[in-house]
Chain A
Amino acid sequence: MTDMMLKAEDLHARYGAVEVLRGLDFEVPDGNVVVILGANGAGKTTTLRALCNMCTTTGTVTMEGDDISRAKTADIVRRGVAHVPQGRGTFPELSVMDNLKIGAYTRKDNEVGADVDRWFEIFPRLEERRDQLAGSLSGGEQQMLAVARALMCRPRLLLLDEPSLGLAPLIIEDLFERFAQLNKETGLTMLLVEQNANLALDMADYGYVIESGEIALHGPADQLKNDPAVQEAYLGA
């Protein structure tokens, strides 16, 4: 049996009076890539926000066996959860370099500089633009920056919220190749939220489909890909 990096049980979330998540149960095994599929408004983004305690939640979230459902966002980050929010979430008025440095905010070691160099090697475009303001980067570059920044905290679990949104198809493919490579080379666990089901299922080990805040369907990625309901709803078959 694989160790569980993350496990959510009966996860509810609400914004004011509106209940967005209505009892989700899902697991993210260590080293795996898990994808959450769903239409607009199904609650995908809220799921990731709920895991980081960025909205009002009930239910239990455990990370490596420890209950983190009441922990502060900053403490969840310290545990090794990095979140790339929807719409990149870079700091537009900060330089590329400062964006990376703030990514390492929770770290106390002195290898931050070495890590910056490492991500510059993987994303050379960022090094070319290290002193530019993040707001001046293209959409693809911003997404790279958002990912690199998230990796600066040396996460063990990476939450990715629709990284493909608004990007050109070639750039999306390149990005997903890098994600797959990261997962393979470093064993980084990922929980990915996507509308681009094809690419996401290609990379993922396991998938959940949520509809109106509930899990409608789940299974190994290969199996979901061949599921007629998924094909019809998300794969345009």
Chain B
Amino acid sequence: MNWNFEILPDFIFNGLRDGAVYAAAALALVLIFKATTLINFATGELAMLGAFFVYVLNIEQGLWLWLSIAIAMLVSAGIGAAVERALVRPFDPADHLPVVLITLGLFLIINAVAGDVWNYQVRRVNDPFGQFPSWVPNGSELKTSSEGTIACLENADGALAEVAPGTAGADMCEMVGRTFFEVIGARLHYRTIGTWIALALALIALAIILGKTKAGLAFRAVSSNTESARLVGVNTGRTLGFGWALASVFGTLSAALVAPALGGVNPNMMLTILIYALAGAALGGLDSLGGAVIGGLVVGLIKSVLVSWFGVVVLGQAYFSILQLATAFLLILIVLLFRPAGLFGTRRIERV
């Protein structure tokens, strides 16, 4: 056994970064589950569509990246609400099977349409957290020299290495770790911090929407007791549409945040992420928003620390890396067997 503790913090940071993405996607699942007690299997594909909107607006139309993300979120919200109105509301909410089948069908359709429009090649996107100004400490590591070579930090020794642009080395250089802080000997990438901040801001916005607005109060009421919500005059259909819109915003956020780390957007980009998000949502309790966040982060940590660090590095078993997805399934299985309500979900107590 080779306890490589000095690289453990790297794995923790990466795990928490992936975890933040899973958390955002898990929130998209939980927002819909809370109100309707059904799993929207098209969550990932709707999010992927959102990431492609960012791609079209930013790369193809040349809009400012953050504006592109904001517009993509709004468009996704509209699509989410439209899906609810057209494909979910006409069906009896007490009968889950038809709606679950519809979301599965939607998953296939969106994936196929996206594949037809944009094909399955990975398309490079801009990293929202890749271009930090030079006054940020350690922020100026990426330099393009006069000869056109790109300088970036190489491995553990921290020395600058020069690679020619357009080569695989340059791609790697841009894809991973061109800007980071050094924290306890590990690289805390700006992208990681940026992902955390973006998730935190989105959570604050969500807390304000749900806690302080009338629509948010109606959403919580419908989630808690749909029948009583109708009896106080809440339009439950419109409120569920609002929930779908919010969920789609979080889905698009997760996809936009993860796209640069995946090397770009492609129609299959959210497939595995949705599995991890599902594991996170199940762990946190499918009807708990806070649980979804913590569950997503924990799944990211498990994947990175338990599987990649302990399995691959410490035990030296490379095959552990292909078990990452299996871990997610295992986690879902364990939660469902021993604690079906998850860590923070409500165990319904029926009073007579």
Contacts and interface: CB of A to CB of B under 8 A. Distances in A.
Interface of A: 52, 54, 73-74, 77-78, 82-83, 85, 87, 89-94, 98, 101-103, 105-106, 135, 139, 149-150, 153, 166
A91 B224 contact: yes
B231 A94 contact: no
Given A102-B232, A105-B232, A87 B220 contact: no
A150 B231 CA distance: 9
B232 A103 contact: yes
Contact of A85 (B214, B218, B231, B235): B231
B235 A91 contact: no
Contacts of A101: 217
B233 A74 contact: yes
A188 B67 CA distance: 54
Contacts of B351: 87, 139, 166
Contact of A106 (B221, B228, B233): B233
Nearest to A101: B217
A26 B270 CA distance: 58
Nearest to B350: A87
Contact of B227 (A54, A77, A98, A105): A54
Contacts of B234: 74, 102, 105
B232 A153 contact: yes
A43 to B, nearest CB: 18
Interface of B: 214, 217-218, 220-221, 223-225, 227-235, 346, 349, 351-352
13 contacts: A73-B230, A73-B233, A74-B234, A74-B235, A77-B233, A82-B232, A94-B221, A98-B220, A102-B217, A102-B218, A105-B234, A106-B232, A135-B349
A223 B231 CA distance: 33
B220 A52 contact: no
The 4 A-B residue pairs with the shortest CB-CB distance in the complex, in nearest-first order: A77-B233, A106-B233, A91-B224, A89-B228
Given A73-B233, A87-B351, 12 more contacts: A85-B227, A89-B227, A90-B228, A91-B220, A91-B224, A91-B225, A102-B232, A102-B234, A105-B214, A106-B232, A149-B232, A150-B232
A73 B233 CA distance: 7
A209 to B, nearest CB: 25
B227 A102 contact: no
Contacts of B230: 54, 73-74
Contact of A92 (B214, B218, B224, B227): B224
Given A91-B220, A105-B218, A166-B352, A85 B228 contact: yes
Most chain A CB neighbours (cut-off 10 Å) among B220, B225, B228, B230: B228
A162 B224 CA distance: 21
A83 B221 contact: no
B231 A83 contact: yes
A85 to B, nearest CB: 6
B352 to A, nearest CB: 7
A106 B233 CA distance: 6
B352 A90 contact: no
A98 B231 CA distance: 15
A94 B225 CA distance: 10
A91 B221 contact: yes
Contacts of A92: 224-225
Contacts of A90: 225, 228
A93 B346 CA distance: 9
A69 B343 CA distance: 45
Contacts of A153: 232-233
Contacts of A85: 227-228, 231
A98 B233 contact: no
A165 B228 CA distance: 17
Contacts of A87: 351
A102 B352 contact: no
A220 B216 CA distance: 46
Most chain B CB neighbours (cut-off 10 Å) among A73, A94, A135, A166: A73
A135 B346 CA distance: 11
A102 B214 CA distance: 8
A98 B217 contact: yes
A78 B227 contact: no
Contacts of B349: 135
A77 B220 contact: no
A106 B227 CA distance: 16
A77 B217 contact: no
B7 to A, nearest CB: 43
Contacts of A91: 220-221, 224-225, 228-229
Contacts of A94: 217, 220-221, 224
A64 B221 CA distance: 30
